[in-house]
């Protein structure tokens, strides 16, 4: 494959990455959120493999396989188990309606594009175009954490931010050293496990996974007693 084709492929994958970030924001049902999250993980693994092929970087192959196993299969499966056990299938209502969220998301994407433009000009890498998209995806993940009420969707937002950071790492430096990546992967795995335990604890304590319920309990809990 020629270098130009690989660059176009990376660009296409970056565009799909942006699409998955938007799709995550637009979903109402927990299951489709998880499906899109898994798709994002697989996409990330494919991107890593393509960049590995383009730059002859063998370590990236290993992290591609790791990404696929961890973010494409294991994390979605863990979260799926949690929502099955807790019977939360619908995000009842996000704080803003979907259309407004989408408009804000478009604005956020424009902003990311605007601030990355000067950096893009000085980069020589074949993946430089994807940096703006990686930044946009980080901000979109944060937006997801802000606009959702349920603890699980907020965690998915957090994991999406981590995905985009990994994508940014592939894009801006052709991947971090393997040791660092393995470390981060295990951190994310442990975090997901701890989140999973937390969900059960939160549900037991507050009878709900809505973050508002927790707030109300923590702030007004003492007055009611």
Partner 1 sequence: MSSAFVQMLQAVLLLLLAPLATGFVATCKARLQNRRGADVMQPWRNLRKLFGKEVVMAAHASWIFRTAPYVVFTATVMAASVGPALLVDTPLSLTADVIALVALLALARFFLALAGMDIGTAFGGMGASREMTFAALAEPAMLMSIFVLSLGAHSTNLTTMINHTLNSPFALHPSLAFAMVAMLMIAVAENGRIPIDNPGTHLELTMIHEAMILEYSGRHLALMEWAAMVKLMLFATLIADLFMPWGMTTDASLVGVAVAFALWIAKLAGLLLALAVIETSLAKLRLFEVPEYLSGAFVIAFLGLLSYYMLEVGA
* Residues engaged in binding partner 1 (CB under 8 A): 4-5, 7-9, 11-12, 14-16, 18-19, 22, 26, 98-99, 102, 105-106, 109-110, 113, 120, 128-130, 132-133
With beta carbons less than 8 A apart as the criterion, state whether 13 and 50 touch.
yes
- Nearer to partner 1 among residue 109 and residue 164 (C-beta): 109
The answer for residues whose C-beta is within 8 angstroms of residue 139's C-beta and 6 or more apart is: 108, 109, 111, 112
**Distance from C-alpha of 67 to C-alpha of 95, rounded to nearest angstrom:** 32
Q: In angstroms, what is the minimal distance from the CB of 173 to partner 1?
A: 19
Q: Which of 87, 91, 103 is nearest to 36 (CA)?
A: 91
Q: In angstroms, what is the minimal distance from the CB of 12 to partner 1?
A: 5
- Nearer to partner 1 among residue 111 and residue 198 (C-beta): 111
**Distance from C-alpha of 218 to C-alpha of 204, rounded to nearest angstrom:** 15
- Nearer to partner 1 among residue 16 and residue 86 (C-beta): 16
Q: In angstroms, what is the minimal distance from the CB of 129 to partner 1?
A: 5
What backbone phi and psi angles, to 5 degrees, belong to 95? -65, -35
- Nearer to partner 1 among residue 80 and residue 113 (C-beta): 113
Q: In angstroms, what is the minimal distance from the CB of 141 to partner 1?
A: 16
């Amino acid at each position: 494959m020629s270098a130009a084709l690989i660059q176009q492929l990376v660009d296409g994958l970056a565009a799909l990455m942006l699409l998955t970030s938007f799709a995550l924001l637009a979903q109402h049902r927990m299951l489709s959120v998880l499906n899109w999250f898994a798709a994002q993980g697989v996409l990330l693994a494919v991107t890593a493999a393509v960049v590995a092929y383009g730059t002859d970087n063998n370590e990236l192959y290993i992290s591609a396989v790791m990404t696929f196993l961890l973010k494409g299969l294991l994390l979605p499966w863990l979260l799926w188990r949690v929502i099955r056990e807790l019977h939360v299938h619908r995000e009842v209502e996000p704080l803003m309606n979907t259309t407004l969220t989408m408009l804000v998301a478009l604005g956020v994407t424009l902003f990311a594009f605007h601030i990355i433009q000067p950096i893009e000009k000085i980069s020589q890498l074949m993946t430089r175009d994807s940096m703006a998209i990686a930044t946009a995806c980080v901000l979109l993940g944060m937006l997801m954490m802000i606009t959702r009420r349920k603890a699980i969707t907020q965690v998915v937002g957090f994991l999406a931010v981590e995905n985009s950071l990994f994508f940014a790492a592939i894009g801006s430096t052709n991947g971090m050293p393997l040791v660092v990546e393995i470390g981060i992967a295990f951190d994310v795995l442990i975090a997901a496990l701890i989140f999973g335990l937390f969900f059960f604890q939160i549900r037991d304590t507050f009878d709900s996974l809505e973050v508002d319920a927790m707030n109300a309990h923590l702030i007004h809990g003492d007055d009611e007693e």
